[in-house]
């Protein structure tokens, strides 16, 4: 990670990463499929955390609140590793190929969230919509937070972003959500 | 496109595509950067349509309604080309690399929508949230529609999906959106 910041992602070799970490290249490849995985190995942890948190959420929680609980648990974890999160974000922001990988991981997280909501009995499309909303909140709150991770609170920004999303999507006529398509 | 369906995307060469279309390879490359661009050239048209529709929307329209207007205009266009849309979807669904490209194009569309909303005076994060919501609606309505494009109405599914999203995100306490974070 430090090497990516110092020298740029493209100009850092696996040999250099392994040496800095005090590992052989062989040991490195036992842990990571390639040098990109140093940055994305956390996605599996995050997904597991999303899924278990959503499954354990109170059964009467509405879909988007259950999905948000998962995302907020992820936010707590990320905030505990703020130095890593900030460095990682800077590296990814500087490299289009890594941004693509990040989009794919976010799409996987959204699919996993939707699947978990379905296992809680949420209807098919409602589950997809709630998961997409939670991931949008995750993404936008994270981008706000990472600009000043020492002073901002990521879980709180996530809750605020969901509130803001509700305001933004409120029905134009009444300022309240339409219930025409209640499921 | 027919060739991709017949033989699979990976097993189709540019020479074969050009021949089927009655073009030389040179002419093909004048129109498309590579064979993937046959599938993604429409994204630029869609983006232009999103942006102009959102800019032309009535100025008192709330952010998400303005974003939806852009997305619905795209839905009308896609529906006019339902045979192409269905084939294209089947090709992309069968190929992870094309799915990645699709995610990137959707992220670009979301960024363009958010930027257009900001030009209409919508606050920074509210614009990002409204754009993400509109793209989520676009994606999920499209996936419903493409299963039966001869009988379903894409623009209508988009409006229904937004209504459903409002229901799904409604506040747990009141069944209405929280206004705690009104912007």
pLDDT at residue B180, as a whole number: 44
Inform me whether the C-beta atom of residue B97 falls under 8 Å from chain A C-beta atoms.
Answer: no
Mean pLDDT of B67-78: 96
Higher confidence at residue B30 or residue A172? B30
- HEC per residue, B72-99: HHHHHHHHHCHHHHHHHHHHHHCCHHHH
Cβ-Cβ contacts under 8 Å, B126 against chain A? 164, 167-168
pLDDT at residue B130, as a whole number: 96
Say yes or no: ipTM exceeds 0.85. Answer: no
Query: A109 with A135: CB under 8 angstroms?
Result: yes
Question: What is the spatial distance between Cα A28 and Cα A153, in angstroms, rounded to a whole number?
Answer: 34
Which whole-number Å values give the CA distances from B56 to A57, B138, B156, in the listed order?
43, 19, 21
Phi, psi torsion values for B48, nearest 5 degrees: -60, -45
Question: What is the spatial distance between Cα A149 and Cα A161, in angstroms, rounded to a whole number?
Answer: 16
Distance from CA of A134 to the nearest CA of B (A): 10
Mean pLDDT of B45-51: 94
Mean pLDDT of B59-87: 93
Contact A168 B130 (CB under 8 A): yes
Q: Sign of dihedral through CA atoms A50, A52, A53, A58?
A: positive
pLDDT at residue B173, as a whole number: 52
Of B136, B139, B181, the CB nearest to A133: B136
Distance from CA of B19 to the nearest CA of A (A): 32
Predicted structure pTM score:
0.82
Burial B34-46 (b: 16+ CB within 10 A, else e): ebebbbbebbeeb
Size of interface A-B (CB pairs under 8 A): 134
Query: B78 with B85: CB under 8 angstroms?
Result: yes
The DSSP secondary-structure symbol of A125 reads: H
pLDDT at B138 over 60: yes
List per-block mean pLDDT (blocks of 10 residues) for chain A, which spans 183 residues: 72 76 74 76 90 94 94 96 90 89 93 96 94 96 95 96 91 49 40
Q: Sign of dihedral through CA atoms A13, A19, A21, A26?
A: positive
Inform me whether the C-beta atom of residue A124 falls under 8 Å from chain B C-beta atoms.
Answer: no
In this predicted structure, which of B1-10, B21-30, B140-149, B169-178 has the lowest mean pLDDT? B169-178
Distance from CA of B127 to the nearest CA of A (A): 9
Cβ-Cβ contacts under 8 Å, A167 against chain B? 126, 177-179, 181-183
């Amino acid at each position: 990670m430090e090497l990516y910041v110092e020298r740029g992602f493209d100009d850092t070799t696996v040999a250099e990463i392994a040496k800095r970490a005090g590992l052989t290249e062989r040991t490195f490849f036992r842990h990571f499929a390639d040098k990109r995985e140093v940055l994305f190995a956390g996605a599996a942890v995050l997904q597991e955390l999303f899924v278990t948190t959503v499954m354990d959420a109170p059964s009467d929680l509405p879909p988007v609140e259950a999905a948000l609980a998962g995302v907020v648990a992820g936010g707590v974890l990320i905030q505990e590793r703020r130095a890593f999160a900030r460095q990682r974000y800077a590296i990814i922001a500087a490299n289009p190929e890594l941004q693509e990988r990040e989009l794919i991981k976010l799409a996987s997280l959204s699919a996993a969230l939707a699947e978990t909501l379905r296992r809680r009995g949420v209807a098919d499309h409602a589950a997809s919509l709630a998961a997409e909303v939670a991931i949008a909140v995750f993404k936008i709150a994270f981008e706000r937070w990472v600009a000043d991770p020492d002073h901002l609170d990521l879980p709180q920004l996530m809750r605020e972003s969901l509130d803001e999303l509700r305001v933004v999507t409120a029905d134009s006529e009444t300022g309240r959500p339409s219930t025409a398509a209640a499921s």
